[in-house]
Structure 1
Amino acid sequence: METIINYFSTIPSLHRGLILAGGIAFFWLLESVKPLFDFDYKKWNHAGINIFFTITTIIVNFVMAFILLMTADWTVQNKFGILQWLPEINIWVYTIIGLLLLDLIGAYLAHLVQHKTKWMWRFHLIHHTDTWIDTTSANRHHPGESVIRFVFTTLGVLVVGSPMWLVFLYQSMSVVFSQFNHANISLPKKLDTFISYIIVSPDMHKVHHHYILPYTDSNYGNIFSIWDRIFGTFTVLPNHKIIYGVDTHMDPEQNNKLKNLLKIPFQNPKKLN
């Protein structure tokens, strides 16, 4: 564990970039071997839009990274936050508790609030407009949503009292798990069901991308599935019944044009209902 702590305490930006790019490349190849759905689409064109949003997400997080660093350092120096208030415990238990809580606030809560708050939903909607969910869809976030997610991550760090090495570990895991559960891959059903009791599996998350309610408002988790089960937002739907997208934006002119995707949060609200 000491090796992991040391590595993520000083992880170079290049390595973080390689984790993101390596994950996309790995699941991209896996999708070609064992796809869940045989999409009739231009994969590179689709990836181009989603990679654009991936780049904007990276830029937002890079520009605001100093806030996260200052928050993490402040919690440690001032002994503030849940982890800082715990008695001395095994480092593995400490890490698991930290990851669970960061995932609760930085992913589950952020995701839930964006679905329930109208002005936030206008930004998050871009993620749901994708009618071909694959591994590149994981970071299809409008720059405005990237800022919202960053705020929740910072809030998580403050409440949890997380040291920076744990933040970097969480963010690295979050990227890879999101690529995994968005990937257009078919796992054996029993395996997918089994892992969904611990982590968010591909079949579990695909339900969230079904085009109509109540399925859109379910399965909010990113890394751990425990939060959806605890808070009653866990739902199942057979794969063959899933239709990707969101019912307000099923027209390709709305969901597959980068210019329109960037404008959606600022369009007439009537178009979003």
Structure 2
Amino acid sequence: MIEFLENLSYIERLFVLLSISLIVWNIEVIYAFKPISDKRKHLFENIKFITLGIPAQLVMGSVLNLSLEFNDKNLFGLIEWFSIKNNWINLIVSFLLLDFFEYIYHIFMHKFRPFWVFHLVHHSEQKLDISTILREHPIETIIRLSFTTLWVLITGVHFWMYVVRQLIQVISNLLAHGNFRLTNNADKIVSLLFVTPNMHHVHHHFKLPHTDSNYGDVLSIWDRLFGTYKKINANHLVFGIDTEMCANKIYDFKTIIMLPFKHLNSKPETINTNE
């Protein structure tokens, strides 16, 4: 399995992820929580964000790849420090470490104002669906991949472990942002361990304190352990950010890209933040 994952081509990984996206897309169409009038237009609006971020993805992706190569050659980081010989246990330990660090990263993005002003581009989405995962400001892409590189070096995770983690992470994020919900009974069980759409929808509610809750990436255990888990009645959910609820402004691409710079020069109380 390790050899297979290490030799998985970019095209093969892309095919797997696109197939999963198509499945989730159709689930949204059939079981939409909040119907979106023009899903294709909404998709193309969010594609603009990921397209603009391609240069940042390429540069930071290369840096991340170098850090993975460094780990493979130098046997560096916590994984090596633990001296665990079993690959399956190493995979589980590395997954838990990376997921915990992603939880910490997400809190940083909300609590540290210079980071939050870029992260609010993602949160300004008022029509949450799987395409929302594409809605990321290019500067947040740089911040995110910088932290990911740091986590990779600290943990000492190897390339094949990272590939497994990334595949699970993308699937989880697609499902978590999906415009559908689990039944209450199913959610009670699944959300004990994993982030569900029901749980992540609360994180995208437009008002504090719910915006600052449910930070988990794949696993929900960190929110439960550290007291950041919250629930809200589905009928009360409103997606977006309370200071940026003008639809015309939010869906004007140039305006939303420049929004962080406007907030960098504003008083902290003018944006949805605890500072």
- Which band: TM-score by shorter chain? over 0.9
Cα distance, 1:43 vs. partner?
A: 1.6
1:31 aligns with 2:52: no
Q: Which residue is 1:81 aligned to?
A: 77
Q: Which residue is 2:119 aligned to?
A: 124
2:230, 2:117 → 1: CA distance?
23
2:15, 2:140 → 1: CA distance?
23
2:92, 2:122 → 1: CA distance?
29
Q: Which amino acid aligns with 1:22?
A: S
Q: Which residue is 1:13 aligned to?
A: 10
Q: Which amino acid aligns with 2:25?
A: W
Cα distance, 1:51 vs. partner?
A: 1.9
- Give the direction of change, closer, same or farther, for the CA distance of 1:203–1:58 in structure 2 (3 Å limit): farther
Q: Which residue is 1:113 aligned to?
A: 108
Cα distance, 1:131 vs. partner?
A: 0.5
Q: Aligned with 1:150: secondary structure?
A: helix
Maintained 8 Å contact 1:79/1:85: no
1:231 aligns with 2:229: no
Q: Which amino acid aligns with 2:100?
A: L
Q: CA RMSD in A?
A: 1.7
Q: Which amino acid aligns with 1:226?
A: I
Q: Which residue is 2:182 aligned to?
A: 187
1:71, 1:197 → 2: CA distance?
33
Maintained 8 Å contact 2:72/2:159: no
TM-score under structure 1 length normalisation? 0.92
- Give the direction of change, closer, same or farther, for the CA distance of 1:205–1:190 in structure 2 (3 Å limit): same
Maintained 8 Å contact 2:126/2:240: yes
- Give the direction of change, closer, same or farther, for the CA distance of 1:213–1:244 in structure 2 (3 Å limit): same
Percent identical among aligned pairs is: 34
Q: Aligned with 1:269: secondary structure?
A: coil
Cα distance, 1:59 vs. partner?
A: 4.6
1:17, 1:155 → 2: CA distance?
25
Q: Which amino acid aligns with 1:84?
A: E
Count of aligned pairs: 268
1:95 aligns with 2:123: no
Determine which of 240, 248, 264 is the counterpart of 2:243.
Answer: 248
Cα distance, 1:181 vs. partner?
A: 0.5
5+ long unaligned stretches in structure 2? none
Q: Aligned with 1:215: secondary structure?
A: coil
- Give runs of aligned pairs for residues 153-164 of structure 1, distance below 5 A: 153-164=148-159
Cα distance, 1:89 vs. partner?
A: 4.0
- Give the direction of change, closer, same or farther, for the CA distance of 1:57–1:13 in structure 2 (3 Å limit): farther
Maintained 8 Å contact 1:76/1:84: no
1:19, 1:261 → 2: CA distance?
31
1:98, 1:88 → 2: CA distance?
11
Q: Aligned with 2:217: secondary structure?
A: coil
Determine which of 22, 42, 45 is the counterpart of 1:46.
Answer: 42
Maintained 8 Å contact 1:35/1:185: yes
2:163, 2:222 → 1: CA distance?
21
